[in-house]
Chain A
Amino acid sequence: MKRAGFDSRWLPILLLLPQLSIIAIFFYWPAVQALRSSFYLEDPFGFGATFVGLENYLRLFRSSEYLKNAWFTVIFSVSVTFLSLAIALLLAVKADKVIRGAKTYRTLLMWVYAVAPPVAGFITLIMFNQRWGPLTNFFELFGWDFRVRLNYNDTAIAMIIASVWKQIPVNFIFFLSGLQSIPRNVVEASMIDNRSSVSRFWTITFPLLAPTGFFLLITNITYSLFDTFGTIDTILRNNPGDNPVTLVYRVYLDGFRGQDIGGSSAQSVVLMVLVLLLTVFQFRLVERRIHYN
């Protein structure tokens, strides 16, 4: 707040009203609703609901299907986060270094930011076409008969490739801007002290990029949990069968297809807690970062 703020009483309320009413109706109401219905078992024919306490949650953690999805989500998120961060970092370091064509590289490496996740899924399906898909052909060189949607692991790998492709640009943009904000004199001093560019990277550049990296780590985990829904749904062609799905996809499946409102709400609440933990973690890191500066 500014020290010399205005004193009007009604104007600020008027200014806040649109935002507050939208979040009240479309954020707090549904969030509370999710919390509430996670303790109820809804009648499938819509004849009211019975309070069942923690039953929905217990059912979740006893379900081997749910645990399997949770495990897949962990593997999926770790792979997507690690691969897209590593590739983007490598590209950003190189793009920061080259002189010729720097701008062209930058544009060509970041345009995918604007591609919608389902389109990434659509492209992946073509790339992995059973008969002539370029990536199917590529894997065949190694004697790997790649079958998306027929083989659990192959489907998982296709989902990871698509999600990594979609996420590299954001990471690239942030890493590049992080690299460019490293003061020139630090870079020059390090060049005098250390002639190996590899060890210079690990001792100087990498630690200086750490704050950006931490921020991106959380962003990427959140991305792989939530924003990959469109990619996954398109690859599965809306019909998961025995294929891997993430936890968010399951909230949608159970809530919409299965009409299991209680179970789906309990899953929502589990995810809410997960996001809350991630955010608290992130805030603590940000706080520490401010101390650096």
Chain B
Amino acid sequence: MADLSQPRSVASETPAPRLPVARVNWGAVGDHLILIAGVVFMVAPLLMLVQMSSMPDIETIKSGPSLQWGDQLWPNLMKALFESMSFSGDNTGLNMFWNSTVLGLGFAIGKVIISMMAAYAIVYFRMRFAMIAFWLIFTTLLLPLEVRIVPSYEITQKLGLLNSYTGLIVPLIASATATFFFRQFYLSVPEELLEAARIDGAGPIRFFIDILVPLSQTMIAAIFIIMFVYGWNQYLWPTMIITDESKYTLVQGIKQITQGLEGSQQVPEYGRSNLLAILAILPPVAVVIFFQRWFVKGLTESDK
């Protein structure tokens, strides 16, 4: 109870005579300085990439990134989009962009649909094998693709799916992250909705399409964004499955781009390489920034 006296004494101290001049709040200045330092650390590398891609390569090779803005952005962009990086002529920036889009969208759409269906079956049906299905699916949360990469490759090869979009996308869907989110979400939907729908004579398919899907819109959007970013950014799996250059993705192409910079035989093309890297960053970053609210919600709900 001694605490009760504390606030009063504090309160009596605070209204100290104030000068009419606006005081500098040093605490807030410190906070801003720390945040600005953080922002510089996070953003400076990107600005550097953009700056370098506006310069002629000869300049960059000599003196590296600078504060100058050159006039080569457009020609470099044209090279990045339309010129191939190798002999086959197939892996132009545009082509890789297309493949990345197919991977990102295909993965996100496939994942959302399949996991919504599975979660619906687990939550809303009286099933004898519900528990077994649940455990079979959720065990997959335990092991990331990276630890079973070699046998996964062998199986995909056996099925004749190398160098195909199916082989690229479907094995990546074999984990239960999204199913888990949807299950959690469905469990939080009030039971009364289901009862009311049943009294009105709605069957399981009706209920799913007319009530549950509209209710899950925000959830679907959030998961879709997270999965799109995840799919677009895949590296190891595409590197192994896709050897045909016409099916290369941008993120996978980074390896080739980097090796190009090593180029002992010709002038390293920083302008073009940086633009390809920027191209690989842009769509997922844009999605995350534009749909920030949904994305953050979806992400942070995931730990519940």
Q: How many A-B pairs fall under 8 Å by CB?
A: 295
Interface mask (A2-17 → B, CB under 8 Å = 1, otherwise 0): 1111111001110110
* A226 contacts across to B, CB distance below 8 A: 144, 146-147
Stretch at the interface among A56-64, A71-79, A115-123: A115-123
Stretch at the interface among A94-102, A139-147, A151-159, A202-210: A94-102
Contact B232 A116 (CB under 8 A): yes
Contacting residues of chain A (203-228) with chain B, CB-CB under 8 angstroms: 212, 215, 222, 226
Q: Which residue of A lies closest to B64 (CB)?
A: A132
Partner of A27, one of B154, B174, B280: B174
* B35 contacts across to A, CB distance below 8 A: 91, 94-95, 98, 101, 105, 109
| 5 pairs of A and B residues whose beta carbons are closest in the complex | A132-B64, A30-B151, A114-B284, A116-B233, A230-B235
Contacting residues of chain A (225-244) with chain B, CB-CB under 8 angstroms: 226, 229-230, 233-234, 237-238
* A261 contacts across to B, CB distance below 8 A: 150
Contact B49 A123 (CB under 8 A): yes
Give chain A's interface residues, CB within 8 Å of chain B.
1-8, 11-13, 15-16, 18-20, 22-23, 25-27, 29-31, 33-34, 37, 87, 90-91, 94-95, 97-98, 100-101, 105-119, 121-123, 125-127, 129, 131-134, 165, 168-170, 173-174, 177, 192-193, 195, 197, 212, 215, 222, 226, 229-230, 233-234, 237-238, 248, 251-252, 255-256, 261, 264-265, 268, 271-272, 275-276, 279
Does chain A have a CB within 8 A of B114? yes
Report Cα–Cα, A16/B119, bound state, in Å.
Answer: 8
Does chain A have a CB within 8 A of B160? no
Does chain A have a CB within 8 A of B23? no
* B207 contacts across to A, CB distance below 8 A: 6
- Seed contacts A1-B125, A18-B114, A115-B285; 4 additional CB < 8 Å A-B pairs: A12-B125, A29-B155, A229-B146, A256-B150
Contact A19 B150 (CB under 8 A): no
Partner of A122, one of B39, B42, B133, B254: B254
Report Cα–Cα, A165/B41, bound state, in Å.
Answer: 8
Most buried by A among B45, B144, B156, B274: B45
* B120 contacts across to A, CB distance below 8 A: 15
* B251 contacts across to A, CB distance below 8 A: 116, 118-119, 230
* A112 contacts across to B, CB distance below 8 A: 42
Contact B236 A229 (CB under 8 A): yes
Contact B259 A238 (CB under 8 A): yes
Report Cα–Cα, A137/B169, bound state, in Å.
Answer: 42
Report Cα–Cα, A193/B63, bound state, in Å.
Answer: 56
Contact A117 B235 (CB under 8 A): yes
Contact B292 A107 (CB under 8 A): yes
Known: A15-B117, A173-B300. A1 touches B32 (CB 8 A): no
Report Cα–Cα, A115/B28, bound state, in Å.
Answer: 31
Partner of A20, one of B136, B171, B288: B136
Report Cα–Cα, A4/B196, bound state, in Å.
Answer: 11
B-side interface residues, number (CB < 8 Å): 100
Give chain B's interface residues, CB within 8 Å of chain A.
3, 6-7, 10, 27-28, 31-32, 34-35, 38-39, 41-43, 45, 48-49, 52, 63-65, 114-115, 117-118, 120-127, 130, 133, 136-137, 140-144, 146-156, 159, 170-171, 173-176, 179, 191, 194-195, 198, 203-205, 207, 229, 232-233, 235-236, 240, 251, 254-255, 257-259, 261-262, 270, 273-274, 277, 280-281, 284-285, 287-289, 292, 296, 299-300, 303
Known: A33-B151, A279-B141. A98 touches B31 (CB 8 A): yes
Contact A11 B65 (CB under 8 A): no
Partner of B124, one of A6, A197, A229, A233: A6
**Min CB gap B5→A, angstroms:** 12
